[in-house]
A = this chain, B = another copy of it.
């Protein structure tokens, strides 16, 4: 199927685009009243993730309502630990919670390497969404980076410091590598499955990149991200390592197409560190969208000019916050789409 709008894919590949494309992390979510209506009907977050027709519905909502240039499948990075044998619950207002966590070599040995069929509901959601989108915009698939998945599997929940997960790195480096490799193998299988199911592009989220030292990040995160980048050759691939300011030079050497930036990373400095062979994605502070309309427009244009016309996909530096107003979000998207260099 030919895409009617392939701006995001072309920008990722470094091809010329008529205007900078835009999509937003967490664009399918609480910021849309239409999403909240589906959630109310469904009950839990996981039921929504696991029911392809509803996941498809909320995935397409921001394309209709916000006019973004890509859809990203509504799912969760923690489906991978679950597929490996570590189920979790999503506790309202608290976040993810794992009843069992990884503590020993035996715990790791008992985990299986996930296969695409273990995550059939994601594959079904991708297929249905791809069909329903009917080529309007590209469909993005995603997974968590191995270090971030590891952090949840050891810690068992969200945390400010993830000190249990980091303690494991410091005290059990060999077991850590065993577990990270198993997560990496699962993630490659999962992402390959997403391509077969219809994903036009893929993104890896390293949400907890910023709590490691540069040296630990090289050893326990980038090494595995690099394996995944090398394995995914079929579609454009984006790596977003939140707060990993210290890893920008090395990230420029990954065999991926696009690097995500957060808003603490200066644009010109990041371009200089990463080089000209990567597309950059980002990097507005989500809190900007609390501002007045004229401030939002002004800052959107300022960001576009700082990135320049080539190799940029406009986005936020993190996901949308649930209490942002839909009209402000739409204003940001429109400001990007209206601007011409």
Footprint of B on A, CB under 8 Å? 160-161, 163, 166-167, 169-171, 210-214, 216, 243, 245-246, 263-266, 269, 285-288, 290-292, 295, 321, 323
Contacts and interface: CB of A to CB of B under 8 A. Distances in A.
A291 B212 contact: no
A210 B263 CA distance: 10
A206 to B, nearest CB: 13
B243 A210 contact: yes
B170 A264 contact: no
B171 A266 contact: no
25 contacts: A161-B286, A161-B321, A163-B286, A163-B323, A166-B287, A167-B287, A167-B290, A170-B287, A170-B288, A170-B290, A170-B291, A171-B290, A171-B292, A210-B264, A212-B264, A213-B264, A213-B285, A214-B266, A216-B285, A243-B243, A243-B264, A245-B246, A245-B264, A246-B265, A246-B269
Contact of A291 (B171, B243, B290): B171
B170 A295 contact: yes
Given A161-B286, A169-B287, 12 more contacts: A160-B160, A163-B286, A163-B321, A163-B323, A166-B285, A167-B290, A170-B287, A210-B243, A211-B264, A212-B264, A245-B246, A246-B264
A261 to B, nearest CB: 11
A263 B171 contact: no
A296 to B, nearest CB: 9
A4 B170 CA distance: 37
Contacts of A263: 213
A89 to B, nearest CB: 20
A163 B287 contact: yes
A30 B243 CA distance: 29
Nearest to A158: B160
A290 B246 contact: no
A290 B154 CA distance: 15
Nearest to A288: B170
A2 to B, nearest CB: 39
A64 to B, nearest CB: 26
Contacts of A243: 210, 243, 264
A166 B290 contact: yes
Contacts of A169: 287
Contacts of A170: 287-288, 290-291, 295
Contacts of A287: 161, 163, 166-167, 169-170
A160 B286 CA distance: 13
| Closest 4 pairs (CB-CB, A-B) | A166-B287, A167-B290, A170-B291, A213-B263
A287 B172 CA distance: 13
A288 B211 CA distance: 12
Contacts of A292: 171
A59 to B, nearest CB: 24
